[in-house]
Structure 1
Amino acid sequence: MKITILSVLIIVSASWHNYSKPTQALLHNSKPSTFAKSLITGADQTEKYLPYLKGKRIGMVVNPSSRIGDKASVDSLKALGVNIVKIFGPEHGFRGDASNGAHVDDSTDPKTGIQVVSLYGKSGKPAAQDLAAVDLMIYDLQDVGARYYTYLATLHRVMEACAENNKELMILDRPNPNGYMVDGPVLDMKLKSGIGFHPVPIAHGMTVAEYAQMINGQGWMANGIKCKLKIIPLANYKHSMPYTLPVHPSPNLNTQQSILLYPSLCLFEGTIISQGRGTYFPFTVLGNPDLKGQYKFAFTPKSIPGMSETPLFQDMECFGLDLRKYDTKKLIKSKRVNLSWLIEMYKAYPFKDKFFDYKQSKQMGNFDKLAGTTTLKEQIIAGKTEEEIRASWEPGLTQFKKMRQLYLLYP
């Protein structure tokens, strides 16, 4: 008998935090593209994997973006009788109540009573004792298609732990909202970090399941070990398909605009320029107090619990670019990371020696680690044109595109 999830779900509305209600509504109420109406996520195709879960002790790597219909996948599967024994939470935590970069401790989920193991605290990956009581792991996280996003490092570590402990990993695949783009310098592995874990460009154009196949196929895990994967693929999906996320994937990517701008704007986290953390519209604006007089648009970062407690330039007026109404169709048409904003901001900023000083700016990342190369910073300082910069990304970018083809599941 085919199980239809809508017949058993109690439809509820959930958000990451109280602060997110207006922005959550923005995403949830956005009309999906007509191309995306028939798209079905891996998680929503319960008839394809529920029988496989029967009789197994299940561990789940999940956060608030992990949904079946309008309900958290943990809650949904538990209601369907799945024996979930452990939850593993990435950056921001399982229920999404931790700010970017914040230490997250192990806990017990008050709603279900299930133990929650943090993968963004003292431990980077599940320990052997964490997996001892688990027969099968499920990975169900919404990625955004950018190398900086820490969930790629989480995926690698979970796969590695599963391989080391002889556990199978089921991936409930989800669309890449930036799947149309493959662009940027390929990471120099000398700069490997949590915001750049593999030799891929800034935008990789792959879904999580495709990326997992690449990690396996390229032998990127310790000693070249392989993780046994069981993939529940998307139905009716193409990489070029516009996709509006029904739930924002992390606290500071809280609108579709921010998600589409993220591959281009996250580079600024290695500079003295604010991307709007401390506002309710992060990753859609750029500014700095020292740009007063050069730009009319201004915003003032504030402390926002669960989102940005101590943002750059807190309570200081920042002047710069308002990209909230920028036509993202231009990005989609170009299929490129936008470098013009980085070049413009560097030229406009009066104190050039401070622009790339991430220690002074107290932001999330070293610019070189975000860029994946030491040369981009040098090229910006030297006044190189965008085309000159792009030329230096070859042949690495073309070689990656060729290699990527080996692991694609969708057109």
Structure 2
Amino acid sequence: MPSVPPVLDRTPPSVLLLCLACMTLEGYDVIAFGAALPFLLADQAWNVSVAQAGVLGSLTPVGMLVGAIGVGLLTDRLGRRRLVLLSAAVFSLAMLLCAAAPGVPAFAVGRLLVGLGVGGVLPSIAALVYEYSAPGRRNLNAALAFAGVGVGGALAALVSGAYGPQFGFRVVYLVGGAAALVVLPAALRFLPESLIHLRSRGRTDDALRWADRLGLDRDLATGPADDDGADPGRGRLRLLFSARYRATTILFGLATFLSLLVLFGLYTWLPQLMRSAGYELGSALSFLVVLNIGTAVGPLVVGRIADRIGSRRATAGSFLLAVVGIAVLSQPLPAGLLHAAVVLAGVGTVGTQILINVFVASRYPVRARATAIGTALSVGRLGGIVGPVYGALLVGAELPITALFLAFAAPALVGAIVVAAVPRGDGAPAGRGVRQVHGTTS
């Protein structure tokens, strides 16, 4: 019977705050494209078409795919901390490149590099939050940290609405790149390394120093390095596609694909869709602000519910919230009801992806969690690549506004079905919420 490592009983506030700050940078940088898109399309010097905008919008998910593939494998070997810092630096510098780009080619390179950095930071942040959370708060803490995506996205829309009319699309990227000057020095000093990673590399002294700095039980720094007793030489990818985990890995990849298709499609094209529905530019951007408020606040509630009822039902329910919210947007309703629908859509897009990350982490042993998250995100990035092009095709086809929104809602409905089909882990009974089973949650 393998020894069981001590259980964390509280979350260090500094870890959660720094992960939130990094995700706020990430959210701003990803959503900046959709926020600035109306001004980019209006820029006569570049004369970007709708089809070109769809391709440019897909470059960030392409970079995220490359980053997720590379870092999803490297983070378990090299550590979360260094990769978070490096990835955040890459996407912040890339934002400054977008701001200074003399033309579309340089801008395209910048958006690709933004994705590369974002794809690197996501698996590491998700794994750090999971590790430094008490078992009963993992979904809530993930929602708190990943609320930064919504906060950053709302800030991008606000900056675009306030300064875009005067300064054009470049100002949105300049502000996003400059914000890293505040966040990165703090993360460099205070963001800890994974204690599990340090133990597995025999760096007990470093693990003890971090445990002392964070006020944690020193046993967390000296406990067993592996939680499942598996052969440490066995490849992580081989484990993910072994008979035990193969169906789970495939379904998580498909669920993430559908989630990110809806997320990137909606984030890229929502302001333009609302303009097609007859709203002025300022009002259309306000919907993007509200969407991101929903992504920041809503998942906190959903995350807490997930800690009580389990990730499966909460994730499927979040997909269904996206279906309802997006479908309602297709109707000519009063502004208050439409804003409420946008909030639901926000909860059901980023909220769903947050819950999927935790759901993935709950189904694999510690040593493979970041790899599992990175693998799911790698497949999912294909959905992120398809989403903006999918939206461009729909907008370019000049379909009725109802058909446009329903076309975005359909993948979310399929996503709910896929999540419901994920096999149960370690024989956990239905309806029992989150519990510890051999070091993983069920």
TM-score of the aligned structures, taking structure 2 as reference length = 0.26
Relative contact order (C-alpha < 8 Å, sep 6+): which is higher? Answer: 2
Query: Structure 1 or 2: larger helix share?
Result: 2
Higher strand share: 1
Q: What TM-score does the superposition give when structure 1 sets the normalisation length?
A: 0.28
